[in-house]
Structure 1
Amino acid sequence: MTTNSAVVLADAASYAAAVEEATRAAAAYYATGESTLDDDAYDRLARGIAAYEEEHPQEVLAGSPTGKVAGGTATGDVPHTVPMLSLDNVFSAEQFVTWTASVERRIGRPVTAWSVEPKLDGLAVAVRYHEGRLQQLITRGDGTAGEDVSHAIGTVLGLPERLEDPVTLEVRGEILMTDEQFDAANAARTAHGAAPFANPRNGAAGTLRAKDRPYRVEMTFFAYGALALPGSGGLAETLTGLPHSEILRYVAGLGVHTAADTAVAPRTAATAEEVRAGVEDIAAQRATLPFGIDGIVIKADLAADQRDAGTGTRAPRWAIAYKLPAVEKVTRLLGVEWNVGRTGIIAPRAVLEPVEIDGSTVSYATLHNPADITRRDLRLGDRVMVYKAGDIIPRIEAPVAHLRTGDEKPIEFPESCPRCGSAIDTGEQRWRCTRGRDCRLVASVSYAAGRDQLDIEGLGGTRVVQLVDAGFVTDFADLFTLERDQLLGLERMGETSTDNLLAAIETARTRPLSRVFCALGVRGTGRSMSRRIARHFATMDRIVAADAEALQQVDGIGKEKAAGVVSELAELAPLVAKLVAAGVNMTEPGATPPPEPGAVREEEAEAGEGAAAGGRPEGLPLDGMTVVVTGAMTGALEKLSRNEMNELIERAGGKSSSSVSKRTSLLVAGEKAGSKRTKAEDLGVRIAEPAEFAEMVGSFLG
């Protein structure tokens, strides 16, 4: 989780400068989202200010953001019926335990129910309904009054114009942009000559307040609470006594959008340990969510506990934000490298001024394609917003346009292939060398022969270069037609090394379909996806014959990726035909192909049940289980690579995963298992030693 680092302020002058900088940044942040500081930098500055003030209370400046909603910079002229406050933060499990103890001391009893929910990275708003009709939309402002932004009604998904019941109440929540809405917003802005938003929060802040734009931008609302308004009748008494979790369910029943139908749905917990498990689970989903979160909100669920804990001037004492590590920071774009992939794709890569994000130093980021650079109006020297979450490759969201100095320079695009000098096919968004895979033939063949693909021992990069230079190999299918005399004619190839290489190639001929498909290097697929595709279709001819709709039945393949796979398989058809002619295996052991549309397999008709969806027969030892492997394997598993372990798991009916969460069924823990074992123990996940796991899947160990 996030460390509690803070900017160190040595004297009154540095403190005053920090207050000025924080106030200026907060004012821009709450006005348009265009702060001069990213969230992590602002948090560290604010903590430094608070620490200085704690040590020097006599020097506290009136303009300090400490203890103020929105840093004391936001304003509004629409009074809130009940103050709309911020949340205090914790940054570690230890701080959270200390906070829960303070809540229980304050109320004089243990808290028996906690609510755990995502902290959405948007703008807090109050939404007023009168007799079931949407009437007014108000920003949080300074907590006592906000700005009327009702002109945005109609652009916010999740806020029905009419509720299911004709009640009068105020729903509070966050307005944000999903990733899809953010991309659509920037496409609309750049099409109209405007600078793209730097990040989704910037987009939501700017859009919520904008009027009379010549284009429409959508946002999404997520409710996190509700309260009765004057004229609501008995609803006030009802809501006052309901637990927070029941209020969310009530609001959802009225038709208002909540996080209940997402992967990070609010949940209740009875103990601090259960809360921590909920925090870990939501944090684990962060990288895959279609919207941003920057933490987890924990609240005392019962109304009585909230009442007895009380509320401060800035934040309630019964709720806290457990902040997650920053995944977004501002740094400088120093240059652009143009790299050619093994399929001939010419991919730009951003060279960045190094910046630490989520515990690692980021010096490079993906730029996708030349059209993406143009659309985002990126320039050398730009201050850019860089995003990283989980294991995702860092990417640049957009330039922070308001920080430009005028010294930025255009990015130059290559006029010919940076690797071989051939022409470039610019007909699609992703540029490609006209020689395609031939541009990177050595890389393509070396990849196919790699350990996680065909695993041809003795065929390293130097040997591949020899084969290509001699004209023996024009694609990796040619490996299977190599003759002994050809190899003996190569430099440093004696009889023993030749025979060993031919034996390794012969073994590769029998590899399972999943490895052969992975060796093809189809864009958008890798080791895990290749296994899923092979398990689903069972044979290569079924994969090649599949259309985009059929491919979308495979877990993790969407419409766009499916179309790309179909297109590339058509291009690879001659290579697949050569592999078939060379006698390379084209089936996946243990996989059962899906039935033809409208067909019923004979065994299903007889038994009333058959192979599981996706080509996996029932009754396998790991059927329906999500398995994580960590640490060094021993015994029968000692020589298996991590990819081979994942293959073993999937052959045995399970699903391999790289992270432990409450959805994990089994952790295979080898020597030096480390933090994953600790987390599994905390979550109550079943743990198996390598020997026990080998016994479980014994019949699948080949």
Structure 2
Amino acid sequence: MSAVHEVAPVVDAAHAEPYATRDEYAGAIGRIRSAAEAYYAGADLVMDDAAYDALLARVAATESAQPGWAASDSPTTTVAAGIAGGDVEHSTPMLSLDNVFDGDELASWAARLERVLGRPANGYTVEPKIDGMAVAARYVDGRLSQVATRGDGRAGEDVTVNARLVAGLPAELARPVTVEVRGEVFMTDADFERANELRTGHGGTAFANPRSAAAGTLRAQDRAYDAPLSFFAYAVHDLPGGEGLFHSAAMAAIADLGVATTAGPMAAITEPGVTATTTPTAATTDPEATTTSSPPAGMPLCATIDDVLAAIESLGAARGSLGFDIDGAVVKADDPADRDRAGFSSRAPRWAVAYKFPADTRTSRLVGIEVQVGRTGVITPVAVLEPVQVGGVVVTSATLHNFDDLVRRDVRVGDAVFVRRAGDVIPEITGALLDARPDGATAFMPPQVCPRCGGEIDRSQKRWRCVRGRACGAEESLAYFAARDSMDIEGLGDKVIAGLVRAGLVTDPADLYDLDAESLAQLERLGRTSAAKLVATIQGSKTQPLSRVLTGLGVRMTGRSMSRRLARHFGTMPALQAATVDDLQRVDGVGPERAATIAAELAELAPVIAKLTARGLTMSEPELPTRPAAPGSAEALEAPRLPLQREDGSPMTVVVTGSVPGLSRTEGNEAVERLGGKSSGSVSKRTDLVVVGDGAGSKATKAEELGIPCMPAEEFATLLAQLTAVRLG
């Protein structure tokens, strides 16, 4: 079960304790059924993931310890806790899956399967466990005929009318075959945002999360709007010529028919009713952060259970960048002979199992709403929460995105709220439990003026901004400009910056270069010697490359990595400022929205950039690698290769872990790019090389497990020094 509202302590489902009395056991079953009823109806959630899984685990532990107490219709032996159903009988039962929660439990499952088979399984597939609603779609002569929900596993509801609008589930297949496809209907992050806009725009309350939004939309009757939905297949029945096909081959076969599967590369799902074989892309949740291309959700084939665990870990690392919710991975025996021999229990196949990730949606209490003003003047509401563990991290605050979103979700102080954290994404509030709202809870009133400077607020965009922009957040902007990863101006700390702003000596970064020791010495706790040293450090920062200047300016929707890409692509600040929106989109990772924002930001920053140029800052990127625009082209094959470029000129993916002599962490990533590579923060099967220095931890271990080449940090530093010497020579 996915995120389903019960504010309760977490119980480790892998080490559940049985209930002490029969009444406690019966009460737990009642709560499970109540939660399942809301979950499968697509209504507001009444219990989060971890609480539901732990409750179910305690029921199972009780039945094991006290078999005489076991209810005949226990949720441990029925699909959907026995509460769902419908009028459409399934051709074969749509069963649930048993769960495992760690590598040891996964190994135990594989060992049990091996005992049943009398040998190791002949390969496994690993698929993302989509957080959606399971359906069976029947095609007759290639045309979509009927779609039914899973229901109780034996029969489900007819949702054909709404399913005809689902992207990835085509109205007509590529060939006129009669076949049944099973899979998950779900909402991508972009779908979810659009669905809430539509629902609240028609007078409804916002959906609590993407899963309930998908279920509610799929089962809706006579709704005045059509919310977007997506689909991934996970099984096929009655495929012509499919007798004896391995699962991986069967999925490839239905992809050829035009049905979306997770095995495709990450790309946008097509419009509803149109052939689609790819998966949705992620949209960044932080407009001032840099994102990279989304990794594939995939369906890797694995020979051993160790390979399976590595694939699951890779999927878990990519969880926050998929663009849609997953709550685990599904492991299946690939060989149909293995599946036939293993068979089924009353509620689940023995040849498949769900590996559940730590819950990324939990319930907490909203204790306050604060308003923050960022360095660019962006005004953002932030939720203050009772501490709650989400995805293995203790969360005490979460983003509320923007004031329009806050009004749409109608979140109030005192509410029990759902907190989501997928991968490394900033925690966010997805909704509130409205039926548990405390008496007297009042709607939040957005600020009428900038809470920092009292100036007017520009409300023309979703993200409100103080009309003074960066001038409002001068101290934050200057601190960001001086930071180690930006211009690296040592000694220019928060207290000095605050004194400079109060004294009226500095209003923007360019003013720093007009400071003299005499003016600085007048500041509190800054003597003549320290002032002279700071002036020298500020003047010395003029030699920093363009990428550092861009980082320091804090252009929205960029960060360190994107600043380096922009600097390498355009070479000089004038060339970057002259770039059109179309020109900017030629940079890796820059889409239309990001390109438009960057162009607007550069125009807004033009006066400051002009002042910085006049003061002698380096506005070019030195040691610019000669990198072909088209890897694999004749020019790429003929050009001299950098140490971290492949033969076709494309960059190797490199992870730096531990310390590199003479380099900070950021400088290590910059060095990777100067050597022709592409820096990455996580190790996966797509990693080409791992640089290992002192203090390296789990990344080095994982590289060794995956057989990825490793390079000592000293050797990496030598490579960089050699390249620098050649260029200087």
TM range (shorter): over 0.9
Report what 2:304 is aligned to.
271
Aligned-pair distance for 1:531? 1.4
AA paired with 2:90? H
Report what 2:642 is aligned to.
620
Aligned-pair distance for 1:701? 6.2
* Per-residue CA distance 1:316-354 (angstroms, 9 max, x = gap): 110111111111122222211011112222211111222
What are the residue-to-residue correspondences of 1:524-603 with 2, within 5 Å?
A: 524-591=557-624
Report what 2:471 is aligned to.
438
Aligned-pair distance for 1:608? 5.1
* Per-residue CA distance 1:4-50 (angstroms, 9 max, x = gap): 35476333232221111011111211122533101221111100111
AA paired with 1:511? Q
SS of the residue corresponding to residue 398 of structure 1 reads: strand
Aligned-pair distance for 1:611? 11
From 154, 167, 170, give the equivalent of 2:177.
Answer: 167
Q: Does 2:244 match 1:241?
A: yes
From 538, 541, 556, give the equivalent of 1:505.
Answer: 538
Q: How many residues align?
A: 678
d(CA) in 2 for partners of 1:668 and 1:444?
Answer: 33
AA paired with 1:609? E
d(CA) in 2 for partners of 1:675 and 1:494?
Answer: 46
Q: Does 2:107 match 1:97?
A: yes
d(CA) in 2 for partners of 1:331 and 1:563?
Answer: 37
Aligned-pair distance for 1:397? 1.7
d(CA) in 2 for partners of 1:137 and 1:524?
Answer: 41
Give identity over the alignment, percent. 50
SS of the residue corresponding to residue 409 of structure 1 reads: coil
Report what 1:252 is aligned to.
255
What are the residue-to-residue correspondences of 1:170-319 with 2, within 5 Å?
A: 170-228=180-238, 235=240, 238-261=241-264, 262=266, 263-319=296-352
Aligned-pair distance for 1:206? 0.5
Tell me, yes or no, if the aligned pair for 2:420 and 2:428 is still in contact at 8 Å.
yes
* Per-residue CA distance 1:647-693 (angstroms, 9 max, x = gap): 11111111111111111112222233222222111111112221122
d(CA) in 2 for partners of 1:116 and 1:30?
Answer: 25
Cα distance change on mapping 1:131 and 1:83 into 2, 3 Å: same
TM-score (norm 1): 0.92
Report what 2:20 is aligned to.
10
From 678, 694, 701, give the equivalent of 1:678.
Answer: 701
d(CA) in 2 for partners of 1:492 and 1:106?
Answer: 76
* Per-residue CA distance 1:357-390 (angstroms, 9 max, x = gap): 0111111111122112122222222322211122
d(CA) in 2 for partners of 1:488 and 1:107?
Answer: 81
SS of the residue corresponding to residue 119 of structure 1 reads: strand
From 440, 461, 473, give the equivalent of 2:506.
Answer: 473
SS of the residue corresponding to residue 171 of structure 2 reads: coil
Q: Does 2:639 match 1:609?
A: no
From 42, 53, 67, give the equivalent of 1:32.
Answer: 42
Structure 1: give runs of 5+ residues left out of the alignment: none
SS of the residue corresponding to residue 243 of structure 2 reads: helix
From 716, 720, 723, give the equivalent of 1:693.
Answer: 716
d(CA) in 2 for partners of 1:672 and 1:9?
Answer: 45
Mean Cα deviation higher: 476-485 or 103-112: 476-485
Cα distance change on mapping 1:573 and 1:628 into 2, 3 Å: same
AA paired with 2:200? T
Tell me, yes or no, if the aligned pair for 2:136 and 2:150 is still in contact at 8 Å.
yes
Cα distance change on mapping 1:423 and 1:593 into 2, 3 Å: farther
Report what 2:79 is aligned to.
69
Report what 1:422 is aligned to.
455
From 21, 24, 32, give the equivalent of 2:31.
Answer: 21
AA paired with 2:717? A
Tell me, yes or no, if the aligned pair for 1:3 and 1:92 is still in contact at 8 Å.
no
d(CA) in 1 for partners of 2:64 and 2:427?
Answer: 37
Aligned-pair distance for 1:428? 2.6
SS of the residue corresponding to residue 183 of structure 1 reads: helix
SS of the residue corresponding to residue 330 of structure 1 reads: strand
Report what 1:128 is aligned to.
138
SS of the residue corresponding to residue 335 of structure 1 reads: strand
Tell me, yes or no, if the aligned pair for 1:127 and 1:171 is still in contact at 8 Å.
yes
TM-score (norm 2): 0.89
From 362, 367, 373, give the equivalent of 1:340.
Answer: 373
Tell me, yes or no, if the aligned pair for 2:232 and 2:260 is still in contact at 8 Å.
yes
Tell me, yes or no, if the aligned pair for 2:690 and 2:710 is still in contact at 8 Å.
yes
Report what 2:400 is aligned to.
367
Report what 2:669 is aligned to.
646
d(CA) in 1 for partners of 2:616 and 2:307?
Answer: 55
SS of the residue corresponding to residue 379 of structure 1 reads: coil
AA paired with 1:557? V
Report what 2:292 is aligned to.
none
d(CA) in 2 for partners of 1:138 and 1:427?
Answer: 43
The root-mean-square deviation of aligned C-alpha atoms, in Å, is 2.3
d(CA) in 2 for partners of 1:566 and 1:594?
Answer: 24
d(CA) in 2 for partners of 1:494 and 1:339?
Answer: 34
